[in-house]
Structure 1
């Protein structure tokens, strides 16, 4: 009887986790155990949002503005005035308008069929819309009315990749910035060469959707987590070669990340809050802990801390001792994403209603921004400007200058922006969306 009761409890917890994922990414489980989307048709960007519980249909209907908009989120100076650069990269005075030749590629008139049982092949180069060079289109100094210093920055769309008719929920750059990996409902990894935007490889293997993808530091290897309760290790240099499969989680694996220094170590978390530490050379995990259900991310460079998001809080663990150093609380809704700044001094956490930035020195809250109904979901620190946070919401990107507490909204996608990635080497930013595309920004 106790075994039956325990099994029923596990099944109930698993169904709750799946329901949460439905609300975020639009997927339901059928009686035979397979999965399909509970949304058959995607509304155009200019149409009214028609929500059936999926993450990319809820939220306000946003029409693309003719130019990026700037607004004040508090008392402060200009968005461009207080930006701080990293790695001594050059600044630009101008930003391209979205109605110029280098502007956004609209797909608002497309109707996307998200049937999980029918997957098409990865699109060919004909489906890649790339604007890799600066065109001679209209430009506009969008900071002219606000900027108090002669410096601003460039942020424009430079490429667009259509993968298939399935939602993209995760993406990540390799350490050298030459490869971008994306994945999601299609259950396979798509690797893109950043010089040509051609498909490098498309290894397959997961039985259910992929929830997270991460490159091993300074390596061609990458790992994926999935609803099929496994983590899989691939080698991009050997496109069809699956290196290892790691099993042990009893619930869908929601996220994983590699240690920045001990690169043979990675951590994964599942929907029941279990975190497993793995050595890539071993099939069994080396340590089991509790604390993360949505996402795990190691502190960059030194990897002393691991940030784990669960419910409406973030736990920060000391990796060596496996002791909790901080519990970061204050979000009113579930935390979807976390990200570190380049130096590992600050941690940003994103929930639907707000984004919060914390100091890792003492665990104090240092910045906070309300979503104002935009339904935030993802975030990343800009690869060039250390005090600029890029936030992905429903259809639009929010560029937040934390020093000046100023924001700029840029129309980005036709659906929820589920994940963001950046490459300090190339200065590129990638956004992955439920509208089935990955966009590149610089």
Structure 2
């Protein structure tokens, strides 16, 4: 079948097998009758070479991706152009349709994947993680997962329900393509780098290499169902910042890669909230956002701070003054002020109502940890360093007090809702309550495991009757306020212990009753609802979670299960949970215990 005037870069059969689509360097897509080999349509519109073409599952549409940075959607029956998608993320190197017909995915030269609503063409989430060009993408036959390969020598597995990264597998050389097995249990990736003939790993991890025509071919099989923990590892991206919007309807969270996401607080549906300008985390040092998410502050290694309108992606003022890399950025609750801390422990305060005004500088002479927090009314800034706390008045720009509070290092601080008290988390697993006016200590809350397990985050509930704290001991502790005879006291009433790394953020829903969100270094976001019975016993129920790679199954009894699919049997068997009684896959009777 002749007709193309340049190299043919992509060829694919239609689902019914009656058509063939081809595309290449001449910028055209050609549709062929697979039986007669006659040319049906020549589809023109791309201005540069086309690198990938894919049919929709029903065969009615065809998508083509090009070096002109567009994805074009064609009608395969008429040859007409339906619409054009413009991701603006670099060359479109590869494309994929989900088998259920809901999603289109495009892989780009800049290392990102863009998801699209296949029916409407609307933008979906952007999946970031690869550091070089995405060379191959494919949905699993069940449409639950998306696999991608890249020149960065990794294969990444993505969860389509939460749009999060599940696992990363590193290879020995550049990955050129990726494919799922028909049962969705294996991923195959291939490369064409010259390598020695070898076999790596056991039965679940095989590499077969052979020399063909002077070029080394390698195919690597990854079994994602039998041993995911040993071969596929989730990318644990710590959550640096997490907050509810003032109306309690959404949650914003920023991870250590400077990626900002927004979740619906009720349903857990998420979307990427970060403008494309911030897609280069290696060029930035830290980031912060206003309580309503309308403005983002991004700092660069030079020490400059750039402000952006996150809704319009338009740049705002640039704040210059720091001479070294910035480690901390914090907005005030009223969004007027920004506090910044650099690697030289210099704290600067910026008034966004007058960015030309000379900002206040506080030099911290000792210590390598500086914690800054604004009061709820945005009239004070508290600066903690080692065991010392400084209070700073924002309007008069005067230092209010300087106190040596504790021998332990300060790890976290937060004002109470009325601004009269500051809760201080230290490196010994304790929380100390400090009265701002009298400068005296109140209760010392002991509930986290000690032995250098620091308290990394603290939050007061909107009603002021509860405190939630998270720490290095991988737990969240709930504290209850009690007042007897005019004296205040706090008691530990519940502990949530289903985390796998330290808990770095906790925030209460400002309007929802007894609801809070947690951010963890295991990369998870979880929303909890607290309840108490008539005896005062408190319980926590997880409403939803994102990027949950492992379920907590301590003490689980699993018995009398019937009708397990082969996939579920295999998943349970890998953890020694089940002992099959017979080989009838449709009616297994299973009984076992997981400790």
TM-score w.r.t. the length of structure 1 is 0.55
Give the strand-richer structure, 1 or 2.
Answer: 2
- Counterparts of 1:43 and 1:245, CA distance in 2: 46
Report the equivalent of 2:381: 266
Query: For the structure 1 residues 163 and 335, does the alpha-carbon distance in structure 2 shift closer, same or farther, using more than 3 Å as the test?
Result: farther
Q: 1:363 aligns with which of 490, 512, 517?
A: 490
Equivalent position SS for 1:195 = coil
Query: For the structure 1 residues 410 and 216, does the alpha-carbon distance in structure 2 shift closer, same or farther, using more than 3 Å as the test?
Result: closer
Whether 1:158 aligns to 2:285 is: no
Equivalent position SS for 1:250 = coil
Query: For the structure 1 residues 375 and 268, does the alpha-carbon distance in structure 2 shift closer, same or farther, using more than 3 Å as the test?
Result: same
Whether 1:193 aligns to 2:309 is: yes
- 1:319-330 to 2 correspondences below 5 Å: 319-330=436-447
Whether 1:47 aligns to 2:168 is: yes
- 1:1-20 to 2 correspondences below 5 Å: none
Report the equivalent of 2:461: 341
Whether 1:400 aligns to 2:528 is: yes
Report the equivalent of 2:341: 225
Whether 1:316 aligns to 2:433 is: yes
Whether 1:290 aligns to 2:290 is: no
- Counterparts of 2:271 and 2:316, CA distance in 1: 19
Shift of 1:391: 1.1
Higher-Rg structure is 2
- Counterparts of 1:329 and 1:255, CA distance in 2: 21
Q: 1:234 aligns with which of 350, 357, 362?
A: 350
Q: 1:373 aligns with which of 500, 515, 521?
A: 500
| Alignment deviations for residues 319-350 of structure 1 (CA, whole Å, 9 cap, x no partner) | 11111112112212221111222233322111
Q: Could you tell me whether the CA contact under 8 Å between 1:256 and 1:267 is conserved in 2?
A: yes
Q: Could you tell me whether the CA contact under 8 Å between 1:233 and 1:243 is conserved in 2?
A: yes
Q: 1:179 aligns with which of 286, 289, 295?
A: 295
Query: For the structure 1 residues 412 and 220, does the alpha-carbon distance in structure 2 shift closer, same or farther, using more than 3 Å as the test?
Result: farther
- Counterparts of 2:260 and 2:411, CA distance in 1: 32
Q: Could you tell me whether the CA contact under 8 Å between 2:285 and 2:326 is conserved in 1?
A: no
Whether 1:276 aligns to 2:384 is: no
Shift of 1:187: 4.4
Query: For the structure 1 residues 289 and 233, does the alpha-carbon distance in structure 2 shift closer, same or farther, using more than 3 Å as the test?
Result: same
Which moved further from structure 2: 346-355 or 229-238? 229-238
Report the equivalent of 1:94: none
Q: Which runs of 5+ in 2 are unaligned?
A: 1-152, 157-164, 171-231, 237-243, 483-488, 532-538, 550-595
Supply the RMSD in Å over aligned alpha carbons. 4.3
Q: Could you tell me whether the CA contact under 8 Å between 1:232 and 1:242 is conserved in 2?
A: no
- Counterparts of 1:131 and 1:389, CA distance in 2: 15
- Counterparts of 2:155 and 2:345, CA distance in 1: 32
Q: Which runs of 5+ in 1 are unaligned?
A: 1-40, 50-59, 65-84, 92-103, 115-121, 123-127, 135-151, 414-442
Report the equivalent of 1:13: none
Report the equivalent of 2:423: 307
